[in-house]
Chains A and B, each alone.
Chain A
Amino acid sequence: MAEGVSPGAAGPDVAGAGGSSAAGPDGAGSTSFDAIVVGAGPAGSATALALARAGRSVVMVERGPFPGSKNVYGGVVYGRVLDAIIPGWWDEVPVERWVVRRSTLMMSGTQSLSIDYRSEAWGRPPYNGMTTLRSNFDSWLATHATDAGARLLTDTVATGLVREGGRVVGVRTDRDGAVLRAKVVVACDGVNSFLAKEAGLVPPADASHHTLGVKEVLSLPREVIDERFGVTGHQGVDIEMLGCTRGIPGGGFLYTNADTVSVGVVVSLTHLAESGIRPEELVADVKDHPSIAPYLRGSTLREYAAHLIPEGGYDTMPDLTADGLVIAGDAAAMTLAAGLWLEGVNFAIGSGFAAGRAVDRAIASGDCSKLGLSSYRDDLERQFVLADHKRLRKAPALVLSDRVQHRYPGLLCDLADGMFTVTNPIPKPGGLRLTRDAAAKHGVRLWELAADTVRGMRIFG
């Protein structure tokens, strides 16, 4: 952040953010840029990086004291999106551990059935996924943007859009009401994006398409983590869980950092509100499960955190542009929450970089209207950002369905129990009978099981 513009104690200094100064229409001083990026998270920094590299004047307005200070994630950052943006990124990224083991646990009561995949290749370049701390990761990415020439204004809230004749021409800030003006504003202001709400791109409140993530970061000595999780050096583990949230649609997670582990749950906001269960109780349940507790024994709480996640998927994704305005990252609901795949930071980076390039093209063509910015969506449809969302558009509904959430974890555990419990002198039961019995016990008809299998294959296949 050495390149960042820190307002410091001297008071508002938005003019010092490097744009050209002019008298604003409201009498206050205003500063003009090619683009203003609101939020210096992964989406904002990727946007600013693309624009700065294209030679555009760009400022990032970050409300926290440093990039990442308001951000929380739930497991793994998949870095391959950076291959084309920051070649050799893995040599410099502030990684905690490279995930070489990924486990999915289906839990029921004190039982669990896991699908555990391990790959040594995931621990070598180009790697697959990493665990990191957002305060480090987001600051690192923001430094790439500032090194390329973008300005970073921290400790500053963009309190609203400035519009002229219906088009967005800047933002107001909370630094004595100072106004920043630009040809385009890119709102990367996160899941609560008040700018996207103000522009009418997303509804004011939409609990049914959001989940709440609640996380505890627990201290454990590095060697203890290595031994308990079966890894060495920079190797790490990501465990995702289903059936551990007392019937509230959602799931749990546990992943390793260097000398901490992060454990938590992600749950449907509407169902949580109806349940009367406190979020921290759900985390305590996960920590107490006999499949998880041995990993955490003797740990101490380092930090407790909570954050919302947009989970509407492709079918509820908002309009991504308006006249003079583009949205990216969580502000545009670019989080992939599709059961087997839980990704967000990579989508933020991918959408942000595409937004930056689209804004550059729009400025070059002299048309920063909604139409002039429309190449953004086309670009996203061609690459993973919207292609993955489109392919998995039906996944959230299946993953959060009653049977997947409430019945299948227990059914599968009982099936495994029936297969692996040796009941001598009673002969082993056949697979069909076990399936029938487990299904009946959990209130599932065999045709429903077959239908969901086909549905799952259609969605994920």
Chain B
Amino acid sequence: MSATDPAWRGISFEDRMATVDFRVGERAHITVDSDVCRSCTTKACVTACPANLFAPTANGGILFNYEECFECGTCYMVCDHDGAITWTYPDGGQGVVFHHG
């Protein structure tokens, strides 16, 4: 397989995330207040989240999925709207487990 073969480059995002060990807890450790997000024009979280967990909705809000989160903190750091993203760690023992970090 050549290095420029698109198949070599193009691993699907689902396959990419499937390589990561997530121990998903019951409690959503991140909450998003979509009412605040509707006034946000940049939606930086959508671009920057390395796990691609934020999706814009048709009505200008944000749909968020906490299960496959790296717990990196990018989303709340880049968010400039107070109260839009509430971020805590998952409960003890849950969340991402890196084996090759």
A→B interface (CB under 8 Å): 7, 63-65, 68-73, 133-135, 154-157, 159, 173-175, 191-192, 194, 205-207, 210, 212, 214-215, 217, 257, 260, 262, 269-270, 272-280, 284, 287-288, 290, 293-294, 296-298, 301-308
Contact pattern, B 35-50, Cβ under 8 Å of A = 1, otherwise 0: 0000000101001101
User: In the complex, are the beta carbons of A269 and B74 less than 8 A apart?
Assistant: yes
Contact partners of B59 in chain A: CB under 8 A: none
**Given contacts A214-B50, A304-B20, A305-B101, are A63 and B89 in contact (CB under 8 A)?**
yes
Identity of the chain B residue whose Cβ is nearest the Cβ of A135 in the assembled complex: B99
**Given contacts A303-B19, A305-B70, are A210 and B97 in contact (CB under 8 A)?**
no
Bound-state CA distance A207–B76 (Å) is 9
Least CB distance from A23 to B in Å reads 23
User: In the complex, are the beta carbons of A65 and B100 less than 8 A apart?
Assistant: no
Contact pattern, B 20-60, Cβ under 8 Å of A = 1, otherwise 0: 10010000000000000000001010011011100000000
Bound-state CA distance A276–B96 (Å) is 25
User: In the complex, are the beta carbons of A135 and B98 less than 8 A apart?
Assistant: yes
User: In the complex, are the beta carbons of B17 and A155 less than 8 A apart?
Assistant: no
Contact partners of B70 in chain A: CB under 8 A: 305-307
Task: Beyond A272-B47, A279-B48, A305-B98, list 14 extra A-B contacts (CB 8 Å).
Answer: A64-B97, A65-B93, A69-B97, A70-B101, A175-B92, A194-B88, A205-B77, A212-B50, A217-B100, A288-B9, A303-B99, A303-B101, A308-B72, A308-B73
Bound-state CA distance A311–B21 (Å) is 28
User: In the complex, are the beta carbons of A133 and B73 less than 8 A apart?
Assistant: no
**Given contacts A65-B93, A307-B72, are A260 and B101 in contact (CB under 8 A)?**
no
User: In the complex, are the beta carbons of A280 and B98 less than 8 A apart?
Assistant: no
Least CB distance from A259 to B in Å reads 11
For B23, B79, B93, the residue with the greatest tally of chain A CB atoms inside 10 Å of its CB is B93
Contact partners of A191 in chain B: CB under 8 A: 73
Contact partners of A70 in chain B: CB under 8 A: 71, 95-98, 101
Bound-state CA distance A304–B90 (Å) is 19
What 8 A-B pairs have minimum CB-CB distances, sorted nearest first? A155-B93, A293-B3, A306-B50, A273-B44, A72-B101, A134-B101, A273-B78, A217-B100
Contact partners of B91 in chain A: CB under 8 A: 157, 174
Interface on chain B toward A: helix, strand, loop, or mixed SS?
loop
Contact partners of A135 in chain B: CB under 8 A: 98-101
> What are 23 pairs between A and B in contact, CB < 8 Å?
A69-B98, A70-B95, A70-B97, A135-B101, A157-B90, A157-B92, A174-B92, A194-B89, A210-B73, A212-B48, A214-B50, A272-B47, A273-B47, A278-B52, A280-B16, A280-B50, A297-B3, A304-B16, A306-B51, A306-B72, A307-B101, A308-B72, A308-B77
Least CB distance from A373 to B in Å reads 26
Contact partners of B72 in chain A: CB under 8 A: 212, 306-308
Contact partners of B78 in chain A: CB under 8 A: 207, 269-270, 272-273
Bound-state CA distance A306–B16 (Å) is 12
User: In the complex, are the beta carbons of B101 and A212 less than 8 A apart?
Assistant: no
For A159, A301, A306, the residue with the greatest tally of chain B CB atoms inside 10 Å of its CB is A306
User: In the complex, are the beta carbons of B77 and A206 less than 8 A apart?
Assistant: yes
Contact partners of A206 in chain B: CB under 8 A: 77
**Given B11, B47, B98, which contacts A276 in the complex, CB threshold below 8 Å?**
B47
Identity of the chain B residue whose Cβ is nearest the Cβ of A215 in the assembled complex: B101
**Given contacts A157-B91, A191-B73, are A279 and B50 in contact (CB under 8 A)?**
yes
Bound-state CA distance A133–B16 (Å) is 19
